[in-house]
A and B are shown apart, each in its own frame.
Chain A
Amino acid sequence: MIVTNTETVAGYEIVAICGLVQGNTVRAKHAGRDIDASFKNMVGGELKGYTELLTESRREAMQRMLAQAQQLGANAVVNVRFTTSAVTSGAAELYAYGTAVTVEPSA
């Protein structure tokens, strides 16, 4: 499956549009990560636990989006966008959406 965040795919032509596909996940951070974060906030540096949390959420949301695209019989998803939003304090949603299309290599 070809996935891009551009409207077109270089070297390919969009022959059919299957529709909007989306995937989301709401994830909570755990206390261990908070403790690590409170230490890191004294000396600065990357919060690896939170980065991992974002990466996991993004993978999950993308997987759900791609599953939808597959169901529609698409072989590519273009113009993919990601947004995050706070649900409660302690949990955030990561939402991925894009347009499922069928592409063919351009002659």
Chain B
Amino acid sequence: MEEDFIFTAIQLLVSVGPLVLCGLIIGRTVEKQHFRRLDAFDAQCQDFLITQLKSFPMSVAGESAPSLVVTEVVIASDYLKSWFAKWRNLFGGELRSFQTLQIRAKREAMHRLIKSAMEQGYNAICNVRIESADVGGGTAQRKTPMAAVIATATAYHAGQDS
């Protein structure tokens, strides 16, 4: 019986091991790089005014009318994260691996909102709304977890006067 158990354990490790290792090495690197990129961008847009107010704080008349900006992001979980989540399901508690996944998707969506507003010549966004989206039906029931986000905001011109 004991041998059987050890054999099964080894079999499990051999079949799952490479994928977990793959997630551990590549997944971690991808995540770290992503966070580094997001931090760098955050440092760049210090004077860009971001609020989620429905009014237009500090708005001034610009050359163009306010405009809607919408962005969407879908980020995949890696094998290690999904594997951790399966174990977590046994004991309950916070799923840290998915927490960072969700925050990456949301920050990336914000990043793209700001970028698209900047490209159109605006220097502020208000009424930022971030929602989870459904891609291809039944996102929560999928075997392959992912974070899908759709973010909307209104871009406008802000300034010190008036």
Contacts and interface: CB of A to CB of B under 8 A. Distances in A.
Interface of A: 2-12, 28-29, 33, 37-38, 40-47, 50-51, 53-55, 58, 62, 80-92, 94
B137 A88 contact: yes
Contact of A45 (B75, B126, B134, B136): B75
B76 interface: yes
A86 to B, nearest CB: 4
B56 interface: yes
A78 to B, nearest CB: 9
Contact of A46 (B56, B68, B70, B73): B73
13 contacts: A4-B68, A44-B77, A44-B81, A45-B78, A46-B108, A47-B76, A50-B74, A50-B146, A54-B133, A54-B135, A84-B133, A86-B134, A86-B138
A41 B134 contact: no
Which 4 A-B pairs have CB atoms at the shortest separation, nearest pair first? A44-B78, A10-B56, A54-B72, A50-B74
Interface residues of B, number: 50
A54 B150 contact: yes
Interface string B122-154: 000011010101111111010011101010111
Given A82-B150, A92-B134, 10 more contacts: A5-B68, A8-B55, A37-B144, A41-B77, A43-B78, A44-B27, A47-B74, A47-B146, A53-B135, A92-B137
Contacts of A94: 133
A7 B131 CA distance: 19
Contacts of B22: 42-43
A33 B108 CA distance: 21
A42 B23 contact: yes
B150 A91 contact: no
A18 to B, nearest CB: 17
Contact of B137 (A12, A51, A89): A89
Contact of B78 (A41, A53, A83, A90): A41
A43 B26 contact: yes
A13 B152 CA distance: 22
